[in-house]
Structure formats: C-alpha cells, structure tokens
C-alpha cells in the first residue's frame, strides 16, 4: 500500500512555500470539492503576490505521485530482502540503534548526515545540534555546499558577513542589473517577472547579461557579454578598469568603507580592456558600454548564481563581481548591491543556523575558538550525549588547513 497520507483536512487552505527554487514563492494548498490536492499562488505573499511559475503550479503532481514517491518509512530487515513498510517508531528506533552501535564501536566520526537546502531552518538547526552538539562530530554537509558555499566565502571576505544586502524591492528601483552566469528567466522565473515588470515601468533600466550561452534572460538584455567559459574574472576586472579610467568610481565610499583599492587598481590595470576583451572573446566596445551604464547608474545590482559559484575559483569570481559594487559605492543604498541567488529555497536559512560542516549557528564559525565556546555553552553540550566532556572541536582537515599544511 503506497497511498498518499491525508495531509490536509478537506476544504482547509494551508499556506506554505514552494520548494523548487531559491525565489521562495508563497503558495496555498487546499483540496477541491472532489478531494484533489490543488496549489495556487498566495496573493498576500510579498515575494510572488499570487504568481507562480510552471514549476510551482505543478507542485501537487509531485506530492501526489504514487509511482516513485515514498509516503511512509520503509525498511529492509536483511540486505537481500525487499523493503517493507514500517511504523515511524520502528524506523526511528532502528536508525538510532544503528547510529549508537557505530558511534560506540568506531567513534562519533563514523556517522554523518547529508541535509538539503529544502529543509526548514528549524530542521537545519536541530540536525546540526544533534551531530555537532550531541553526537560530537562535524560530519554534516548539505547540497547548499555545491550551490552557494562560494557566495558564503565571497560575502565574508568582501563584506565581512554572509548576508545578502539586497531585497527584492531593490529590483524595482535599480537602474542597472548585471546578471552574471545565471539564467533567471528559467531558473528563478518569478523573480525575473519582477525585473521584466520593472523594465516595462522604466524602459531606461539597463540589463547586462554575461553568459557563454544565449539564454532566455538575454532576450531583454541591453548588452550580452557572451564570454568564453572561465573568463569571468578577466571580464569583471576589465569592467573595473574601464570604470576607473572613466572616473566612475566613488572615491568617498572607497576611502571610508573599503580597503586595498590601490592593490585592486594594480591588478585590474595589469592588462588593457582590449587585451581582456580578446581573452574573454567579447567585443571591447561592449565592455566600455557596460562600464558606462554602471558609471551612470544611481542603483546598480549584481546578480549571480551557479555559473560563478560552481567553480574551483568560485570565491574569486564572486569577489571580482562584488568589487564592482564596492568601487562604485553601490552597497547599502536603495536599488544597489550584490544579490546572490540560491538554487534551493532555504539555502540561506541553513547558512544562518550553521548548515555546513564548517559553520555554527547565528553566523558563527567553527574555526573561531570564541564562537565554539559560545555555542557549546548555549547548547550545554558538555553535559549531554556522546561528547563526554569533549569540547566542540575542529575537524582534523580544518586544523591542517589552518596550519597551512
């Protein structure tokens, strides 16, 4: 028997969030008169104001699909036996017993959790507390690692904190939106509808897209920088150089709110805009045009996602883009700032409660001794579980990394 459980009482509307992408649209779920599950956009939700894209509109088919969806716990009693349905109690007791056996025999690092950017913030927090505070291991990671750990480090290194200093409302008042390595028209559709609406209202809004592919997002772009794959940093530095040459940097902001500008200038002046254009495979004139739009903007938003993040130099790609906001003073004012998009609906919530192996809740770091002490005291973790009076500790690989080995 694999019938869906009765999640919702008849005719009751339940509000929740679409779990497909990082936009976070509000949805309402209810049953129709025939008892079928229906989803619709929540008109009162500030993110989507009642709109849903085709993925969100079809969410209920996933929930109802009995062909390959697990509705109840299933367990094998032996490796060669088929799975059979068991009660939640039986499944949880068996899981805990297996964990206990391994931990007692081989230590806390013999077990691990892999979580998801689709978990709720509270779930993220609880599983972190369980493994780090109770079991005594840092063996937890999530698919958020692949999705946006480059952005986490990029924000920390450039702004000092892993927080996105832009709200969706800023999109309505920006003059220039620079989309790097992303195709939000397909991947973050409701957010992109908002950009399209802003363009309809203000035809002077300039949209710049850098992407080796010609995507749907390019269809309303003023400039498409169709760069060679892997040349993002060269392109961003060339735009930085053009801004400096044009005198379009914000000297007061740089003086009071940044450090290292001289070094940055030396780096971006290491090659000419023409040389960079040739490496990137784009027209030099498009780089100058981009710089001139940014230089004349009152509100300038940079927007990016996996095209920059999922790279062995993802952090540097993030930094080179965020630097364009910093040298032009476009941070911390309406319509401006770096807006990283996530692939998962709650990757950011996970970041806030320590949802990666190297993080602790409330934007604390595992590598920071004081942070570890604070969390340890708050969780009272020396008193409980498998810690057995062992403090929160660094994983061996992080210790080696911090020593420079």
In the complex, the residues that contact ligand SF4 under the rule CB under 6 A are: 18, 20-21, 23-25, 48, 52-53, 55-56, 188-190
190 vs 243, which CB is nearer to ligand SF4? 190
Helix residue ranges, H only, 161-260: 184-187, 189-201, 232-245, 251-257
CB of 143 to ligand SF4, least distance (A): 16
For the CB of residue 349, give the shortest distance to ligand SF4 in the complex, in Å: 14
To the nearest whole angstrom, how small is the minimum distance from the Cβ of residue 53 to ligand SF4?
3
Cβ 4 to ligand SF4 shortest distance, Å: 21
Q: Which is nearer to ligand SF4, 87 or 167 (CB)?
A: 167
To ligand SF4, the closest distance from the beta carbon of 165 in angstroms equals 22
Q: Residue 299 or residue 343: which is nearer to ligand SF4 going by CB? A: 343
Of 44 and 255, the one with the shorter C-beta distance to ligand SF4 is 44
* Residues with Cβ within 8 Å of residue 112, at least 6 apart in sequence: 131, 137, 139, 140, 141
Pairing of strands 300-304, 223-225: unpaired
**DSSP category for residue 353:** B
Q: Render the burial of 255-282: b for 16+ CB within 10 Å, e for the rest.
A: eeebeebeebeebbeebebeebbeebeb
Least Å distance, CB 107 to ligand SF4, is: 41
Q: Count other C-beta atoms under 10 Å from residue 4's C-beta.
A: 13
Q: Which of 114, 193, 178 is nearest to 146 (CA)?
A: 114
Which one, 45 or 372, has the nearer CB to ligand SF4? 45
In the complex with ligand SF4, the residue whose CB is nearer, 23 or 366, is: 23
Q: Under 8 Å CB-to-CB from 399, ≥6 apart: which residues? A: none
Residue 192 beta carbon to ligand SF4: minimum distance, rounded to whole angstroms: 8
Q: Which backbone phi and psi does 288 adopt, to 5 degrees?
A: -65, -40
With tokens 């809740």, the residue in question is: 361
- In this structure, the number of other CB atoms found within 10 A of the CB of residue 194 comes to 21
Q: In this complex, which beta carbon is closest to ligand SF4, that of residue 17 or of residue 210?
A: 17
Report the residue closest to ligand SF4, judged by CB: 56
Residue 135, classed as helix, strand or coil, is helix
CB of 345 to ligand SF4, least distance (A): 6
Measured from the CB atom, the residue of 58 and 296 that comes closer to ligand SF4 is 58
Edge to edge, what strands does the sheet with 26-31 contain?
14-17, 26-31, 37-41
Residue number with CB closer to ligand SF4 (25 or 103): 25
The CB density around residue 118, as the number of other CB atoms within 10 Å, is 17
Q: Which residues pair with 38 in a beta bridge?
A: 30
- Which residues, 6+ apart, have CB-to-CB distance to 256 below 8 Å? none
Q: In degrees rounded to 5, what are phi and psi of residue 147?
A: -70, -50
DSSP state at residue 131? I
Return the closest-CA partner of residue 27 out of 14, 13, 38, 41. Answer: 41
CB of 41 to ligand SF4, least distance (A): 7
Shortest spacing between CB 55 and ligand SF4, in angstroms: 4
Q: Which of 154, 184, 192, 170 is nearest to 314 (CA)?
A: 154
* Distance separating alpha carbons of residues 37 and 14, to the nearest angstrom: 11
């Amino acid at each position: 028997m694999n019938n869906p459980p009765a999640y919702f009482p008849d005719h009751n509307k339940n509000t929740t969030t679409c779990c497909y992408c990082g936009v976070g649209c509000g949805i309402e779920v209810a049953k129709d008169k025939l008892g079928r599950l229906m989803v619709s956009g929540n008109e009162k939700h500030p993110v989507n104001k009642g709109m849903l894209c085709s993925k969100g509109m079809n969410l209920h088919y996933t929930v109802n699909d009995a062909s390959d969806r697990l509705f109840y716990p299933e367990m094998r009693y032996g490796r060669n036996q088929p799975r059979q349905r068991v009660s939640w109690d039986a499944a949880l007791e068996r899981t805990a017993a297996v964990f206990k056996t391994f931990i007692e025999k081989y230590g806390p690092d013999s077990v691990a959790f892999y979580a998801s950017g689709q978990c709720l913030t509270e779930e993220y927090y609880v599983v972190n507390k369980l493994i780090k505070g109770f079991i005594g291991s840092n063996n937890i990671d999530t698919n958020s690692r692949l999705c946006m750990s480059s952005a986490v480090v990029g924000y920390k290194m450039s702004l000092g904190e892993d927080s996105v200093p832009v709200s969706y409302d800023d999109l309505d008042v920006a003059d220039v939106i620079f989309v790097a390595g992303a195709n939000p028209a397909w991947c973050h559709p409701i957010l992109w509808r908002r950009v399209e609406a802003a363009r309809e209202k203000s035809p002077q809004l300039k949209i710049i897209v850098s992407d080796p592919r010609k995507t749907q997002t390019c269809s309303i772009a003023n400039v498409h920088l169709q760069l060679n794959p892997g040349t993002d940093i060269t392109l961003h530095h060339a735009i930085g150089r053009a801004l400096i040459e044009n005198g379009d940097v914000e000297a007061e902001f740089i003086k009071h709110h940044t450090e290292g500008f001289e070094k940055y200038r030396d780096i971006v002046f290491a090659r000419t805009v023409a040389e960079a254009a040739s490496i990137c495979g784009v027209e030099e004139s498009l780089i100058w045009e981009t710089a001139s739009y940014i230089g004349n903007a009152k509100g300038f938003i940079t927007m990016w996602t996996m095209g920059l993040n999922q790279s062995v130099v993802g952090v540097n790609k993030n930094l080179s883009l965020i630097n364009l906001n910093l040298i032009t003073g476009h941070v911390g004012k309406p319509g401006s700032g770096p807006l990283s998009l996530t692939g998962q609906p709650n990757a950011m919530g996970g970041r806030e409660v320590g949802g990666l192996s190297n993080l602790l809740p409330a934007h604390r770091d595992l590598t920071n001794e004081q942070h570890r002490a604070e969390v340890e005291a708050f969780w009272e973790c020396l008193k409980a579980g498998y810690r057995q009076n062992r403090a929160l500790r660094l994983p061996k690989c992080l210790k080696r990394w911090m020593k420079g080995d």
